[in-house]
A = this chain, B = another copy of it.
Amino acid sequence: MDIYLLRYFLAVVETGSFTRAADRAFVTQPTLSAGIKKLEQQLGHTLFERTNRRVFLTDAGTRFLPRAKAILHECNMAQQALDEAGNSPLLRIGVLTTLSNRKVGSLLASFREKAPHAAVEIVDGTEQELENRLEDRSLDFALSVYRGEPEDRSIPLGSEPYVFILPTDHPLAGRTRVGAQDLAEDYMIVRSRCEVLSETSRYFTDRNVRPRLVYRTPNDSRAVAMVAAGVGGTVVPQSLVDERVRAVKLTGFEHERRIGLFLPRSDLPTETLSAAEAFKSHVRDKWA
């Protein structure tokens, strides 16, 4: 895949014609024709249906279009990142998307009391994203799933179970425990970034239960609000439970997660060292 070919592709999409796209790209039509053909061969999919009047995106081409735009956008962002001066020092903390707002909020509030001069940026991400960004050095710390990493990498903070949440007025809301069969006719909200999404899916499949999986979002606050509003139920870590929903145990679903504070992968700038030390000890002392 080559960037210049993506530009050709977009030019064709925008003009609906190889000839006009070639003009736009400042090359001749045969050059553009050969380029699109090359791109199609690289990708292994036909992107355009050709007629002598105009060209049309195929289904594959339609699916490719937003991705092509995203790639070019990232290229622009990359050039921008280079052209901007380096930013002033601050603590960049990654937080697992599925970590409770309430818990993180109170942790940060007490940290602010302790270190009133520290500037902090909070960024949400999946486990993998946070890992990548620590590795990249675009994050200093991360609060993420602990899987036994060595002590120079991560400090274990604690664990919590997964529960199934329902609207407070749900027929099953008065129970402390439900089984898969109880949920067979229920609607399900899929939290697309849930760390135990495949385990959850397997839990229901193993029991021959297929709840209606009809609403999906990567945003957990929205998912919990949707449960509270009555859209359906979903599996969440205990800490996401608030007074608007009821948590019940799923019989036979014993998954839990441990959370750790992931440490900087390299030396921090001297000006952030004391804030970083304060943050580290603060989280370790205050997490429970």
Contacts and interface: CB of A to CB of B under 8 A. Distances in A.
Interface of A: 1-3, 43-45, 59-60, 62-71, 74-75, 77-79, 81-84, 86, 95, 101-102, 104-106, 108-109, 112, 117-124, 132-133, 136-138, 187, 213-219, 221-222, 224-232
A214 B99 CA distance: 21
A268 to B, nearest CB: 13
A109 B226 contact: yes
Contacts of A215: 108, 112, 119-122
A9 to B, nearest CB: 11
A123 B223 CA distance: 11
Given A3-B1, A74-B67, A101 B222 contact: yes
Contact of A132 (B60, B69, B74, B187): B69
Contacts of A45: 82
A102 B138 contact: no
A222 to B, nearest CB: 5
Contact of A43 (B82, B221, B222): B82
A63 B81 contact: yes
A102 B100 CA distance: 16
A192 to B, nearest CB: 8
Given A1-B3, A70-B74, A224-B101, A63 B82 contact: yes
B105 A222 contact: yes
Where chain A touches its partner, the secondary structure class is: helix
Given A66-B133, A123-B218, A225 B118 contact: no
Contacts of A86: 59, 63
Given A106-B229, A112-B231, A231-B105, A66 B138 contact: yes
A214 B112 CA distance: 9
14 contacts: A2-B2, A3-B3, A43-B82, A60-B82, A63-B82, A66-B81, A66-B137, A74-B74, A105-B227, A105-B229, A108-B229, A109-B231, A119-B216, A120-B216
A78 B64 contact: yes
B226 A105 contact: yes
A222 B95 contact: yes
Nearest 3 pairs between A and B by C-beta? A105-B225, A67-B78, A101-B225
